[in-house]
């Protein structure tokens, strides 16, 4: 009955909202955990972004990443590299943040389209989600740099590390699936 009540008031249940809050926090913490790799900063943000789509589903996953970006936009120190505020959203790397909001939707939709997604579908979902982040990132970056080619060469540096993160997200998502950890996500169908 409680569920019926909350449903009538809001498009989200409370479990969905708290799970979204958790993933927004996880992404924020993931951005702060920096492993110093040579040349490229390694953070866990993208891992949690992809995972939010897989665990929470398209709608709630998108909500969680939207809140994460919102938190950074108002000046809370949740983006990697110490910067925060609206300037990050409109800055050269802002496209990646926009992509991070869109990616969970793509990942969630692909995974939820099947009752029991196998390795192939899961891997495809993660890769496409990653592609969305990079496409949005390159689009905005090329606008700042003035050339698509220049933006692509910058972007390509991050691809190998991000593939690793996608693989990690895939492994964790499969692991949770196997253990039957169903977070407050949407029904599959």
Partner 1 sequence: MSEGSARDVPVNGARRRGAGGSRGYLHGDGIFHRLDPRVKVTAAIVLLVAILGIDTWAGYAAMAGVLVFAAALGKIPGMRLVKAVQGVSFLLLFTVVINGFFTPGASLFHLGPVALTYQGLMRGLALGCRLALVVGAMTLLAATTKPLDLAHGLGWLFGPLRRFGLPVAELAMVTSIALRFVTVLGEEAKRIRIAQKARGIEIGDRPLSRATSLASIVVPLFAGALRHADELGMALEARGYRPGARRGRLYPLSVGLADLLCLVAAVAIAVVSWGWL
List contacts with partner 1 (CB under 8 A).
Answer: 2-3, 5-6, 9-22, 24-26, 28-29, 33, 35-38, 42, 44, 55, 63-64, 66-68, 70-71, 74-78, 81-88, 91-92, 144-146, 168, 172, 175-176, 181, 183-184
Cβ-based nearer residue to partner 1, 131 or 174: 174
Question: 188: which residues sit within 8 A by CB, 6+ positions away?
Answer: 112, 114, 115
Q: Of 98 and 131, which CB lies nearer to partner 1 in the complex structure?
A: 98
**Least CB distance to partner 1 at residue 20 (A):** 5
As a whole number of angstroms, the distance between CA 106 and CA 62 comes to 9
CB of 116 to partner 1, least distance (A): 20
Residue 13 to residue 34: CA distance in whole angstroms: 33
Nearer to partner 1 by Cβ, of 1 and 120: the residue is 1
CB of 56 to partner 1, least distance (A): 10
Rounded Cα–Cα distance for residues 20 and 60 (Å): 6
Radius of gyration of the chain, Cα coordinates, nearest whole angstrom: 17
CA end-to-end distance (rounded Å), the chain: 23
By beta-carbon proximity to partner 1, the closer residue of 109 and 144 is 144
> What is the spatial distance between Cα 64 and Cα 4, in angstroms, rounded to a whole number?
23
């Amino acid at each position: 009955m409680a569920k019926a009540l909350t449903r009538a008031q809001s498009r989200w249940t409370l479990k969905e909202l708290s799970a979204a809050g958790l993933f927004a926090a996880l992404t924020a913490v993931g951005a702060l955990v920096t492993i110093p790799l040579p040349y490229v900063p390694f953070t866990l943000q993208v891992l949690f972004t992809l995972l939010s789509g897989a665990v929470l589903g398209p709608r709630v996953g998108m909500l969680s990443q939207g809140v994460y970006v919102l938190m950074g936009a108002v000046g809370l120190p949740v983006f990697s590299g110490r910067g925060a505020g609206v300037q990050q959203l409109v800055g050269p790397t802002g496209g990646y943040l926009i992509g991070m909001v869109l990616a969970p939707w793509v990942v969630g939709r692909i995974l939820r389209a099947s009752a029991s997604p196998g390795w192939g579908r899961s891997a495809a979902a993660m890769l496409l989600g990653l592609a969305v982040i990079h496409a949005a990132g390159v689009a905005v970056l090329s606008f700042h740099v003035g050339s698509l080619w220049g933006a692509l060469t910058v972007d390509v540096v991050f691809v190998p590390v991000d593939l690793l993160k996608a693989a990690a997200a895939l492994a964790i998502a499969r692991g949770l699936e196997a253990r039957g950890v169903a977070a407050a996500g949407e029904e599959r169908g």
